[in-house]
Structure 1
């Protein structure tokens, strides 16, 4: 008997405020065409004043639970992937736990920036396979608008706020690549590249800080590392790119998405793309794309998906799962 961590529900939440590219023309030297041509982004959502990362996460969690037909009391653990917590501590996950009325089980955060949701999924899978939990709520939630340097046109136009969530449940399976659920994962990091993408604040400065990015270098690493990690995870599952129904990538930049798909020899009509509507929502981007992809009717039961992401650290990884 093999246990698989199987997706039982998915949901997302986006703040009400939609910010089109044109809005940035008043604060930095940019234009709608400049932003679209370099990133593919047309609009993004920003959280309202007083609206916290935990608020977004809770709304996404409720949507995923409703999709799964479950209550919070059915969940054993909550993992939240975020780099924009409400506070240094307690974790966003424990605040979501309280907001959902879940008084048992456990909750914790994972921080791997844009790769956070892949890391969280892999940790949730390990908890389920080890018997530490039967059902895990995995959430990616961010309010990156609060980390922006509004004078840096190269970064402030790229990011948005949002949250997405999955409900994973332990299910008995055959142990073959035809099983539904998480089939394989691959995680990596290399701290030598930490200066390519970071926030210049924290306990070292006593400030929240702003996001700093060497865009060209991050782009170069992303194309190479994302295709490599996706192939590695597929090999672990005994599968190839030809078996993939959908790539669900981190939604950072359309050129990175296209470049990775090309290296994987997967056509763009098999890639879920939401970057035009959400911008880069960091750890929230993959679960957002999964939820939107299902809502659009693209992702269907039995489809083979590859999710892959890279973020500050550098940290990167991928998960292969059958929906």
Structure 2
């Protein structure tokens, strides 16, 4: 029987920062709108409304001595140790992030050397054939790294690839912008290997799109909304309503297109791992997806969520969610051989991507 080369996940890891920041911690904040007008509603009321529209109640922040490459290394170490993999056997290390290393006392992004090179250094890998590079692609960066790894593995160029998503958003969010409550820190990693199989396993299909003419600047960097903010720091800014509309328009269709590419009906999507951007938005995306198939009822438990307690850590949300899922840390989710998992993400660019993955036996 003829066998085919597939990209299979053989290890996962994550790092959840120790510092828990709850919504109540923002009630002493002073918020302004995009026109630099002071919001007159009590901060406690603003925070309560935020929880209602996002489902976020707490998030994780790194400690002052940590930067993105540090937590990327910890997630990588977890994935390698849990899978029993020799780091010297890696062909590629791909690190998805968007801001480099940002120190607690200096908000300038530090990209040189690359974060992947820093992770390789921290892992002590001497092999010069372990190629390490970064992938800035907005929130879908980690998933795009997974797609790149699939090309390497299925072409025979590589046998083992480590894909990491890590971000420290707590240092690039404006303390006077309500959207700052969305953002969190975290890191996740997966190890993929090329495996021959006579039945389809691992990555079955993927797709990516970039919409820049109308949507390039829906997420961008800008000055603080506080007109009296000292210094010239730039912070992550978002056009929330337009981004929400873009996500509802593109993500469900991207998932449907990917399922069709994999020749799977919607009923065979056992789990949807969606970028944890906003709880209510993710619910709307899921409902819209089923609507594309004229399905009025969404099966319970098809979309595991972590945003209520981990917030939005950009590229880290998907690999962290997967690690928790596969290590039985999210009760009520049964993952067995043959389970079909769909990944999807959307973010700055604007970029959108999806992957269909089947758990091996």
Q: Deviations over 1:225-267 (max 9, x none)?
A: 1111111111111112110110000001111211121122243
**Residue 96 (structure 1) aligned with residue 119 (structure 2):** yes
* Matching residue of 1:57: 72
* Matching residue of 1:6: 8
Q: Deviations over 1:67-118 (max 9, x none)?
A: 2121212211111110121222221111111111112211111111111111
* Matching residue of 2:218: 196
**Residue 160 (structure 1) aligned with residue 184 (structure 2):** yes
Root-mean-square deviation (CA), in Å? 1.6
Q: Helix, strand or coil for the counterpart of 1:270?
A: coil
Q: Helix, strand or coil for the counterpart of 2:301?
A: helix
**Residue 114 (structure 1) aligned with residue 116 (structure 2):** no
**Residue 320 (structure 1) aligned with residue 356 (structure 2):** yes
- Cα drift, residue 123 of structure 1: 0.5
CA distance in 1, matches of 2:304, 2:82: 20
* Matching residue of 2:104: none
User: Size of the alignment, in residue pairs?
Assistant: 315
Q: Helix, strand or coil for the counterpart of 2:12?
A: strand
CA distance in 2, matches of 1:227, 1:259: 10
- Cα drift, residue 208 of structure 1: 5.9
CA distance in 1, matches of 2:173, 2:237: 9
- How do 1:264-279 residues align onto structure 2 when only pairs under 5 Å count? 264-265=289-290, 266-279=298-311
* Matching residue of 2:34: none
Q: Deviations over 1:243-301 (max 9, x none)?
A: 01100000011112111211222434111100011111100000011111123362333
CA distance in 1, matches of 2:299, 2:112: 43
CA distance in 1, matches of 2:169, 2:68: 9
Q: Is the 8 A contact 1:241 1:264 kept in 2?
A: no
- How do 1:180-195 residues align onto structure 2 when only pairs under 5 Å count? 180-192=201-213, 193-195=215-217
Q: Is the 8 A contact 1:93 1:108 kept in 2?
A: yes
**Are residues 44 and 89 of structure 1, via their aligned partners in 2, closer, same or farther at CA, if it must alter by over 3 Å?**
same
Structure 2: unaligned runs, 5 residues or longer: 31-42, 102-109, 224-231, 291-297
- Cα drift, residue 33 of structure 1: 2.5
Q: Helix, strand or coil for the counterpart of 1:191?
A: coil
- Cα drift, residue 212 of structure 1: 0.8
**Of 170, 191, 206, which residue of structure 2 is paired with 1:145?**
170
